[in-house]
Structures are given as structure tokens and as C-alpha cells.
Amino acid sequence: MPQMGPYSMMMVLMMSMFLFWSFVLSLIKVSLFMSMIDGEDNFSWSIF
């Protein structure tokens, strides 16, 4: 990054927050989907 003003800092922060939350939501969706298929709670716990 050539210049890091407050605007670009905010953009980087927003992008990292968005990526982090999409990753967390996809993890939760996968664990819920697997537990629905499997029917057992221990498999969904083993993901985390």
C-alpha cells in the first residue's frame, strides 16, 4: 500500500471484518448442515 490514510485504513478494516464474519457464518452453516445429516451432536462439536 503506497499511502495509508484514514480512508484506506477504514476500507481495510471493513474488508477484514466482512471476510471474518463470512468465514464464521460459513463455518456455522457447515456445522449445522453436518449435524442435520448426521443427527449426532459430537460430530458438529468436532469441527470447532
Q: What is the pLDDT of residues 1-48, one digit of tens each?
A: 567 678 888 899 999 999 999 999 999 998 888 777 766 655 555 555
CA pair distance 43, 16, nearest whole angstrom? 29
pTM of model > 0.75: no
What is the predicted pLDDT for the residue at 45? 57
The region, left, alpha or beta by phi > 0 then psi within -120 to 50, assigned to residue 39 is: left
Give the pLDDT of residue 13.
93
pLDDT score for 41: 56
pLDDT value at position 2?
62
**pLDDT at 15 (0 to 100):** 95
